[in-house]
DNA sequence: GATGAATGAGCCTTCATTCAT
DNA sequence: CATGAATGAAGGCTCATTCAT
């Protein structure tokens, strides 16, 4: 039987594709689900639409996820995991002064998160937090607080080095992150309904400039 | 809009009766609806719960609002109207330097919006924008763009007065507003699931400080 | 409001009918449900069919019963209650010798239970016991064991009076009841598929005769 | 039926292969199916559970049985066949007086049916009769009526020999069988939910004793 | 105006059945 | 022969909406 299968697999060109597809199913479904959940919200999202976008039928989704809620949880978790790794990679890769590190952090964040599908997650969590408290808690713990920790570390490093003023780190961290989250959330919610464009590049550059000017010790030269 | 309403109330014969309804019971229903919509989101909000909180029965709601969607639209419009008035009053009442005006603006915004139930609206709109594009458009036009106009005016005034640098106003406006919206949204979504507290007072003070330092011309002294 | 309602109720001729109907709804649904559950079994019974037989639509059933399972439980409980009362009335009303009492008991049981809709319940419970253990337990406790108690009392009375032999009462009770239950169950399950008729009257008479002969003290020699 | 099958197996060329299948895997599947059908009822029985218990996958079951209904029919038929043979063997093997034959019949019935898995069948048929009329008819014809014929023969033999009174045979037959069926049905339905035990040995002995006393010619006075 | 019983469309979920491998 | 991924029809349940009172 195995031999049979192998011999066939080795010959044709149609066999492998099928197999590859099967193994990719959960991934395809998660991707489709992320899109639909983000677009419609949990309650309005229909399992049939998710299935259709994943190229399968309603029943198939239930072969991989026990319920709509479980699918939602899986979407959040699976989307968060790579996000965590990206965040850590960003901070690990960067060197130089605290100011330069902050600048790089913001730039990289926008490249790997803000501009990608991952940026849809904050909006989704904000919208569904009340309905999925334990998921929101998970998100806050694994993403928000972790991100705060990273940024806080950078700020504290700058303060210790005498590069930054001795500001309230907790407030400063939130202030550093807020414009990034606001941009990500707005982009995937109200921006499509906004007649005025939003130049994120200029916006982020200005954020970095203002923030560094704000936190810089004394006569600090910027740019 | 308010003037409009009053003038009509005084004239016709069919208008008034209808008006009176919309000002007695409807007010209670709108209030209840805002709470429920904000707490659960549009889809999860149940008409029965809204009715119960308003102290009426399900059927009664339909005497005033044709459908759940119409009720939602009414909630948004009715909630936005006073918000707009408040924003305008804030900017109209304030005097002094552009920097001082900005500081006052942020303070007042937090007092009349951020700390009140009105702050729940941004989160609601963010969550439902995809499902109610024309409502989102209305919100963007009547609230977001208007707010931008106000802040933009303050910034331009400062630039013209030589008080602020000649920064990209569009980007600066968004940067000035983002931390306010982020705080309002976070407060009513993820904050209840967050183990770490958020001192909004310090946060807002730091925002004002950093922003003014950032936009200040040259060796500007602050605080 | 209450006065309003009363005054109206007292006047018209069309009002009351509507009202009476509303109050009878749960009863009508239970009746329809008993029929369908008994005919199809719990799993095969469709809520829509129950609703149709009760003269309402699907949704209406859920105004009175939270789920299909709750409806089923209610059917069993509501059907059992009158059955209990009937059983007790039967035994309370009868007088005379233990033998005569037994004869009357069997006759009355057939009249008020065996021949009526109540006789459908045993079959239903037998079929669903594995799926509703707690309901089966309820049925056993409230009906089966209670019935055994009544019959056991009669037998013990006969034994004490020297009218009956000193047989094993537990076994005798089950033996007295078994033919009644078998008849009720068979009648509502396999009998419609049986080409041979079943004369219940003769059958029950013979049961009484054989049972009394069997338990009678007498000088009867056998074996 | 058995002879029929064997003759066919020996002849054709297409039959045998099919036969072999039905005698290897199908046996395990039928056994598993009987368990599951009996435990859950037809509707609640899931093909996957049957397959799992038989040690195969869902798809395999369909290699042998066209549908769930066909599988159910096969289960009933296959379970009935050996039962029929057993019943016949019982009656064929026994000798002696009609009374003794009856006593042996009841004893053997309990040994080969009542105590075994076969006893589950009556409950299953009772529960599913309404949903499978033609199967119920088959069961009634092949089991119930056949059993009645056997018992009726014994009774008639006893009457002819002057051993038994000239009772209504049809009623007496049903009376003789009812306690057996009642015990089998109760055992596999409500008994697990019954706090009171049931000593089947004493019960059956008493049934034989009472029944024989009841039908005995003797000089027994009663009433 | 207000009620609340009733409706019925819509959606999640299950599971018998199919079929490419 | 056997697998198990995939299908899709069926049915329980919800809830926005209607309407007789």
Mean pLDDT of chain B: 85
Q: Would the pTM of this model clear 0.85, i.e. be above it?
A: no
Q: Give, in Å, how far the C1' of F4 lies from the CA of A128.
A: 35
Residues of A in Cβ contact (< 8 Å) with B198: 174
- B202:A43 CB<8 A: no
Fold of A1-65: Arc Repressor Mutant, subunit A (1.10.10)
At C218 the pLDDT is: 66
Domains of chain D, by residue range, sit at 1-65, 68-223
Confidence tier at B24 by pLDDT (50, 70, 90):
low
At A10 the pLDDT is: 35
- A127:B126 CB<8 A: yes
- C-alpha–C-alpha distance, residues D65 and D26, integer Å: 9
Q: Is C20 exposed, middle or buried (0-12, 13-18, 19+ CB in 10 A)?
A: exposed
At A219 the pLDDT is: 57
Residues of D in Cβ contact (< 8 Å) with C195: 140-141, 145
At A66 the pLDDT is: 95
Reported as a single tens digit per residue, the pLDDT across A23-80 is 677 899 999 999 999 999 999 999 999 999 999 999 999 999 999 999 999 999 988 8
Reported as a single tens digit per residue, the pLDDT across B195-213 is 999 999 999 999 999 999 9
Q: Which percentage of chain C shows pLDDT scores above 70?
A: 87
- C-alpha–C-alpha distance, residues B193 and A141, integer Å: 9
Asked if B20 and B30 touch (Cβ cutoff 8 Å), the reply is no
Reported as a single tens digit per residue, the pLDDT across A153-202 is 999 999 999 999 999 999 999 999 999 999 999 999 999 999 999 999 99
Residue that is written with structure tokens 């059917």 in the block: C75
- C223:D207 CB<8 A: no
| A220 pLDDT more than 70 | no
Residues of chain D with pLDDT under 70: 1-25, 218-223
The beta-carbon neighbor of A126 closest among B126, B183, B196 is: B126
Nearest CA to A189 out of B131, B70, B148, B173 is that of B131
At B10 the pLDDT is: 34
Q: What is the mean pLDDT of residues B25-47?
A: 91
- What lies within 8 Å, CB to CB, of D205 at 6+ separation is C171
Mean pLDDT of chain C: 85
Question: Residues of C from 6 to 65 whose C-beta is within 7 A of strand F: which are they?
Answer: 8, 14-15, 18-19, 45-48, 58-59, 62
Question: Residues of A from 39 to 58 whose C-beta is within 7 A of strand F: which are they?
Answer: 51, 56-58
Q: Give, in Å, how far the C1' of F12 lies from the CA of C70.
A: 13
Q: C212: which 2 tokens?
A: 């009394």
Strand F–CB A1 distance below 7 A: yes
- C-alpha–C-alpha distance, residues D191 and D203, integer Å: 15
Nearest CA to CA, how far is A203 from chain B (Å)? Answer: 5
Phi-psi region of D52 (alpha: psi -120 to 50; beta: other; left: phi over 0): alpha
Nearest CA to CA, how far is B90 from chain A (Å)? Answer: 23
Nearest CA to A145 out of A115, A175, A173 is that of A173
| A87 pLDDT more than 50 | yes
Asked if C126 and C185 touch (Cβ cutoff 8 Å), the reply is yes
Asked if D120 and D106 touch (Cβ cutoff 8 Å), the reply is no
Residues of C in Cβ contact (< 8 Å) with D212: 222-223
Count Cβ atoms below 10 Å from residue C110 Cβ, excluding itself.
19
Reported as a single tens digit per residue, the pLDDT across B99-158 is 999 999 999 889 888 888 888 889 999 999 998 998 899 999 988 998 899 999 999 999
Confidence tier at B85 by pLDDT (50, 70, 90):
confident
At D191 the pLDDT is: 97
Q: Give, in Å, how far the C1' of F14 lies from the CA of C128.
A: 27
Give the Cα-Cα-Cα angle D201, D206, D208 (nearest 5 degrees): 100
Q: B97: which 2 tokens?
A: 């330097």
Nearest CA to CA, how far is A87 from chain B (Å)? Answer: 20
CATH: 1.10.357.10, 1.10.10.10, 3.30.420.40, 3.30.70.380. Which one for D68-223?
A: 1.10.357.10
């Amino acid at each position: 039987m195995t031999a049979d299968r192998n011999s066939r697999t080795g010959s044709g060109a149609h066999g492998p594709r099928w197999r590859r597809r099967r193994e990719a199913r959960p991934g395809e479904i998660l991707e489709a689900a992320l899109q639909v959940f983000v677009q419609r919200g949990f309650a309005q999202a229909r399992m049939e639409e998710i299935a259709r976008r994943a190229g399968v039928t309603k029943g198939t989704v239930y072969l991989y996820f026990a319920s709509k809620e479980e699918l939602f949880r899986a979407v959040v978790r699976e989307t968060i995991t790579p996000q965590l790794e990206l965040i850590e990679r960003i901070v690990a890769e960067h060197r130089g002064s605290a100011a330069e590190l902050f600048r790089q952090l913001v730039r990289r964040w926008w490249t790997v998160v803000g501009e990608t599908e991952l940026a849809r997650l904050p909006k989704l969590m904000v919208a569904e937090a009340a309905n999925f408290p334990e998921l929101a808690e998970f998100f806050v713990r694994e993403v928000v607080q972790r991100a705060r920790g990273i940024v806080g570390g950078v700020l504290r490093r700058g303060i210790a080095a005498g590069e930054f003023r001795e500001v309230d780190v907790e407030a400063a961290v939130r202030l550093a992150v807020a414009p990034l989250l606001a941009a990500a959330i707005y982009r995937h919610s109200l921006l499509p309904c906004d007649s005025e464009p939003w130049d994120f590049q200029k916006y982020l550059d200005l954020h970095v400039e203002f923030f560094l000017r704000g936190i810089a010790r004394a006569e600090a030269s910027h740019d």
